[in-house]
Amino acid sequence: MTLLSEPEETTTTGRPTPGRLRVILMLEVYEGAQDRFLDAYELLRYQVSAVPGHVSDQLCQSIDDPSRWLITSEWESAEPFLAWVDSPAHREMVKPMHGCVRDTRSLRYTVLRETHGTTATDTTVPPLRPGEHHPGVPGVPRPGPDGVVRHALSFTVKPGAEARAAELLAGYRSPQARVDDTTRLLRTSLFMHGNRVVRCVEVAGDLPTALRHVARQPGVRAVEEALNPYLEEDRDLDDPLSARDFFQRAALPAVHHHAALRSGPVQRHAYLYPVRPGAGAALAELLAEEDEHAAADPGGPLVRATVYRHDDLVVRLVDLLTDPADDPAAALGLAGPRAAAVLGKLAEPAERTPDGLRRLLAECSMALVTDRSSAED
């Protein structure tokens, strides 16, 4: 990936150099902007990983000057990279980084020779702050407390096509769970609410690697192709720009995750909240506080809860020990001290009464299409 929209670097014939492409971006992060930079990069890396032709990328921080960073990416060839980096959509995608960095310089090289050593992944070492020093090379930890990376995609199908879309999305053959020695697909849960689809994935290891692995499976590609005529917004996953735009729109990042210290047979449910315009971020924070409180309750039914958000689209995925109908307040994240504040962020007023909570539960509940967990090797 790169933050610069520079002219194409070509051979003397005027065509991009053949072979794999290595892009190196050197940059300096403004003092006090490191957290915003890391958040912007985290979203961008998942979007870029879905662009056809993208192979991998790494984020590195200088061990001598914590304000100096390096982003390297590898592409199958120059053509898909140049198609992506020269597009208006790319410039919109990287705008969140522009206020965080200065002195950027982008270099592009064709890979001629390569030596494979041991494989390295993200570490759990936190990034250095200005003035801090340690001998290790810091990474960018993004898994949850349990070591699992969570992400979701959301899109809509044409009204009237819901049943056919659900049939297609439930009928694909599960891809191989083990991606490589460090990455494994753990679980995929797919829900629908009206014509909206939400696909939640859980991965141990590197999420972009896992997403590329899934996208390359013939069975998955066939289902995605069959689904295209039923989507409200057109897409062409074989076209880099169209694919990037789709995954940018569909990205639904996990913003909070809480788990209780209890186990047992659980039921998985998802809830799509009717959010008051502009209140998505506040609602997600309030739900996270409610889930933290519920996870600490030794007698509560909540085992795990993840909140996903993109603007005012807020989805909450929960694993419960009881049927939601038996405790709608716990299922909806309305059993704790911030329940009234949560209700205040909804588009329509909801009463915190048994009947009111049952109506809200029915309104928010998403229909489970498929839920697949990988078996251990």
Residues 159, 215 share a domain: yes
Q: What is the pLDDT of residues 78-101, one digit of tens each?
A: 888 888 887 776 777 787 887 788
pLDDT at 377 over 80: no
pLDDT at 244 over 70: no
Task: Confirm whether 282 is domain-assigned.
Answer: yes
Task: Confirm whether 375 is domain-assigned.
Answer: no
Q: Of the residues 85, 111, 140, which one is the last residue of a structural domain?
A: 140
- CATH number (domain holding residue 191): 3.30.70.100
Q: Of the residues 95, 119, 140, which one is the last residue of a structural domain?
A: 140
Domain residues for 80?
Answer: 1-6+17-140
What is this structure's pTM?
Answer: 0.64
Query: What's the per-residue H, E or C state across the chain?
Result: CCCCCCCCCCCCCCCCCCCCEEEEEEEEECCCCHHHHHHHHHHHHHHHHCCCCEEEEEEEECCCCCCEEEEEEEECCHHHHHHHHCCHHHHHHCHHHHCCEEEEEEEEEECCCCCCCCCCCCCCCCCCCCCCCCCCCCCCCCCCCCCCEEEEEEEEECCCCHHHHHHHHHCCCCCCCECCCCCEEEEEEEEEECCEEEEEEEEECCHHHHHHHHHCCHHHHHHHHHHHHHECCCCCCCCHHHHHHHHHHHEEEEEEEEECCCCCCCEEEEEECCECCCCHHHHHHHHHHHHHHHHCCCCCCEEEEEEEEECCEEEEEEEECCCHHHCHHHHHCCCCCCHHHHHHCECCCCCCCHHHHHHHHHHHECEEEEEEECCCC
Q: Specify which of 2-6, 20-24, 127-131, 329-333 reaches the highest per-range mean pLDDT.
A: 329-333
**Per-residue pLDDT at 346:** 94
Residues 261, 217 share a domain: no
Residues 327, 229 share a domain: no
pLDDT at 165 over 90: yes
Task: Confirm whether 371 is domain-assigned.
Answer: no
Overall number of domains in the chain: 3
Task: Confirm whether 377 is domain-assigned.
Answer: no
Residues 170, 304 share a domain: no
- CATH number (domain holding residue 314): 3.30.70
Residues 315, 329 share a domain: yes
Q: What percent of the chain has pLDDT over 70?
A: 86
**Per-residue pLDDT at 70:** 93
Task: Pick the range with the lowest mean pLDDT from 215-219, 227-231, 326-330.
Answer: 215-219
Q: What is the pLDDT of residues 280-293, one digit of tens each?
A: 999 999 999 999 99
Residues 276, 154 share a domain: no
